[in-house]
Amino acid sequence: MKQFLSFVRKEFYHSFRDPRTMFILLGMPVVQIIIFGFALTNEVKNSRIAVLDQSKDAATASLIAELDASRYFELEKDLQSYQEVEEEFRKGNIKLAVILPQHFAEDLQHLNKAQIQLIADASDPNVANTLTNYATAVILAYQERITHGRKLPYTINTEFRMLYNPQLKGAYSFVPGVMAMVLMLVCTMMTAITIVREKEMGTMEVLLVSPVRPLKIVLAKAVPYLMLSMINIASILLLSVFVLGVPINGSLSLLVLESILFTLTSLALGLLISSATDSQQTAMFISLTGMFLPTVMLSGFMFPIENMPRILQLISNLIPAKWFYIIVRSVMIKGVGLAAVWQETLILTGMLLFLLFLSIRKFKIRIG
């Protein structure tokens, strides 16, 4: 045990004496959670719109004021004709145009209905669909206000409710994804260079003649980064709750334990890369390119897996970040317990044991 702790202490010295390594370990998670939480969001805000008001009465003025007051829209221009609508879209000045016909207020009072045309720039279909949904919601709220909730003839009322994220905040989706990405990249990248560093420095022979078994050598390489990852987990959760306003609805202890399980899986993957490569540059390249793109593209973090071809859906099952993303989203956002995520937990545990077995076996082959 004393020899094992000596190896662990040596790895701590390697990490703390390099400021760049410490920045990657502790600084990058904080930077990424802030960037993804504030800058990179799928919410559409302050989109420039234009209004063609052909009625110019009190009802249209009130509706335009509500659209302009929404945080999703910024009234760019009052248009005078249909020709201006197309011109503004062609110039890229607006994303949405609202057309209010003549006799808008009269139609509401006498016919109990009025037509509103929404024209969106569908060169970006997702943004166009989102903006029309936002505008429809504002219009429906305006209708509810002026009718005072009365049931008008032949009116179909649709009620909807958003579970877990009523305000549709993008941070609710990004925080679980950033946790998976940060822990995967940092743990895999840093442990990927540990064993290969010993080879380049010529100290591998010292390890080989030591009385410590290969299993303990491999574990000693991972322990310091596991402890530093705990600091990353704490910092991400604190920033998520107190800065981004994302609550932890489930068990905090379960969330931490699942994070440790995923961290161990990432460390085992990094050790496998380190045992299979001969240079730090190669190990770094494999850990970055081989883990970053699959984690972002196939974990469900950025793109829905259900929309992918069947072959990519099957490949995504091999990405540990996919299962951790499901666990964090379920525990942190939905507030479920272990009974709801036991399958994902079991899959991560199997991946950990398999990767650890491969890394130890590869290490024995290399030193044999």
Report the pLDDT value the prediction gives residue 132, as an integer from 0 to 100. Answer: 85
Tell me how far apart the alpha carbons of residues 345 and 320 are, in angstroms, rounded to a whole number. 10
Most confident of 218-222, 273-277, 292-296, 354-358: 354-358
In this model, does residue 134 exceed pLDDT 50?
yes
Report the pLDDT value the prediction gives residue 156, as an integer from 0 to 100. Answer: 42
Report the pLDDT value the prediction gives residue 324, as an integer from 0 to 100. Answer: 92
Tell me how far apart the alpha carbons of residues 233 and 186 are, in angstroms, rounded to a whole number. 12
Q: Do residues 224 and 15 make contact, with C-beta atoms less than 8 angstroms apart?
A: yes
For 113, residues 6+ apart whose C-beta sits below 8 A from its C-beta are 107
Q: Do residues 21 and 190 make contact, with C-beta atoms less than 8 angstroms apart?
A: yes
Report the pLDDT value the prediction gives residue 255, as an integer from 0 to 100. Answer: 92
SS3 (DSSP) at 74: strand
Beta strands in the chain (DSSP E): 47-53, 73-79, 96-100, 117-120
pLDDT cut 70: percent of the chain above it? 77
For 248, residues 6+ apart whose C-beta sits below 8 A from its C-beta are 237, 240, 241, 255, 332
> Both tokens of residue 65?
């004021």
DSSP state of 305: G
In this model, does residue 240 exceed pLDDT 80?
yes
pLDDT cut 90: percent of the chain above it? 10
Q: Do residues 98 and 118 make contact, with C-beta atoms less than 8 angstroms apart?
A: yes
In this model, does residue 362 exceed pLDDT 70?
yes
State the maximum Cα–Cα separation within the chain, in Å, rounded to a whole number: 95
Report the pLDDT value the prediction gives residue 154, as an integer from 0 to 100. Answer: 44
Report the pLDDT value the prediction gives residue 22, as an integer from 0 to 100. Answer: 67
Q: Mean pLDDT of all residues in the chain?
A: 78
Instruction: Quickly state the pLDDT bin for 133 (edges 50, 70, 90).
Output: confident
SS3 (DSSP) at 162: coil
In this model, does residue 157 exceed pLDDT 60?
no
Report the pLDDT value the prediction gives residue 37, as an integer from 0 to 100. Answer: 63
